[in-house]
Chain A
Amino acid sequence: MIAFDTVTKTYHVKDIKKLILDDVSFAFESGKNIAVMGHNGAGKSTLMRLIAGIELPTSGLVTSDETVSWPLGFVGGFNGLMTGIENVRFVARIYGHDSDRILEDVRQFAELGLSIELPISTYSSGMKARLAFGLSLAINFDCYLIDEITAVGDRRFKLKSKKALTDKIRTARVIMISHAEKTIHNYCDSGVLLHNSKLYYYDDLKSLIKDYQKFC
């Protein structure tokens, strides 16, 4: 379970104060595949970073007893000067996994061929996303955070990714930002709406999408 206890998050950009979360207490219960919806700029990505533990709340507490991935679709975690292999080994090491095994899995999934030996700065954004996705699948998290999975690669790779993710959520769960109803129906069974700095929980996707269309 990932729990938010009276979490407030504000940003100061120049002199403008932006309130992302206002005193939110909420539990992302284990085993639930949760869709996160909200209008552009509501702070969905910030919410993901709070869940991932890579950003601290302004006040309040975020606790988790699951291993949580970094937000996927976000490839900022790679170092452009290092090769694909070096980046993969680095991440495997900090998560305490056997870097040879992880590398083998990533090689097979990402299908980058010899490019995996080149610096990441030479990759296209699709190649980076493939590497990041493959790496996160290889690490076996309890909870996958997915920020707008924009389909990467060609049709065959899209199908492969879809299948891999579907397989994954038999043993793990996802918390996913998406605007696409179809994607949400494919992977999620419940959802939250981030609206006016508050979180609203929906047991069924129909009423979530209805409210999303009404308010956002």
Chain B
Amino acid sequence: MGIAKLTWLQIRVIVSLTLRETRMTFGTSHSGYLWAIVQPLVSITFLVFIFYLIGRQAPYGTSLALFFSTAVLTLEMHNKMSVSLMRAFTSNKALLTYPMIRETDTLFARTVLIGSTFVIINIILYGGLIGFGLADLPSNPEHIILAFLSALLFSFGLGTINAILYQRNQSWQHVEKVLARPLFFMSGVFYIPSHMPPEAVMVLKWNPVLHLVEWVREGYYANYTSQILDIPYVLSVGACLSMIGLFFERITRKSRV
């Protein structure tokens, strides 16, 4: 087959799989999709409510909702990706009946689905905040987009490795849960990482999700400067994890089927 034909086949497979995943994830009704959008909204509202109750100001800027959104959206997308990709191999065994579908295609399809869902969630949420006067327009939207794409790369890599480990040993799902739990506290959701004591920063700066959150904030706020954000670090972690993940997928393929 020529390159053009192969590319067309690949696109066809991923589009069909994405449609199928959409159907599997959200069911037939549109309300299923609505719930996916409502979920981060609820988390953010809850955080705002708690901070309001204890009478705290936004750690940065004037809007609590905006400050939380910049972190929660990134973190929730990462968590969704990590868990969804982890189960991509095991919940799609039936697809291996069709020779043109490789297990990696299900990883790509799930990434496309979650990525596009979160594009919509981002637009609705920031649009809503701006509409209600709770946020200004982002100062550097291109940085938010780049941070979003890098988040996808990082979560894809980690999710792929999760998928391989989970397939080898199902108890990996419990380990993953334990490992992912501290992310909520380590990703700067309700504080400014640069203002943390140096000992804390020493630990926090290893967390790629924190870098991604800082990147989004630098993109949104005009004067937010992060002492932690290291773009080459987060990109290379994402690229390395993806390559390691895909490499192990390839070498274990024969023994897996």
Contacts and interface: CB of A to CB of B under 8 A. Distances in A.
A113 to B, nearest CB: 20
Interface string A34-78: 000000000000000000111111100000000010100010111
Q: How large is the interface on B (under 10, 10 to 19, 20 to 34, 35 or more residues)?
A: 20 to 34
B94 interface: yes
Nearest to A86: B23
B15 interface: yes
Contacts of B15: 93
Interface string B224-239: 0000000000000000
B101 A94 contact: yes
Interface string B85-101: 00000000111111111
A215 interface: no
Contacts of B99: 52-54, 68, 70
Nearest to A81: B24
B39 interface: no
Q: At the interface, is chain A mostly helix, strand, loop or mixed?
A: loop
A91 interface: yes
Given A79-B24, A81-B24, A82-B23, A93 B16 contact: yes
A91 B98 CA distance: 8
Contact of B95 (A74, A77, A86): A77
Nearest to B105: A94
A94 B100 contact: yes
Contacts of A68: 99
13 contacts: A53-B99, A54-B99, A54-B257, A68-B99, A70-B98, A74-B97, A78-B94, A79-B24, A86-B20, A90-B20, A93-B12, A93-B16, A96-B9
Interface of B: 8-9, 12-13, 15-17, 19-20, 23-24, 93-101, 253-255, 257
Given A54-B96, A68-B99, A78-B94, 17 more contacts: A52-B99, A54-B257, A56-B257, A76-B97, A77-B94, A77-B95, A77-B97, A79-B24, A82-B24, A86-B20, A91-B98, A93-B16, A93-B19, A94-B12, A94-B13, A94-B100, A95-B100
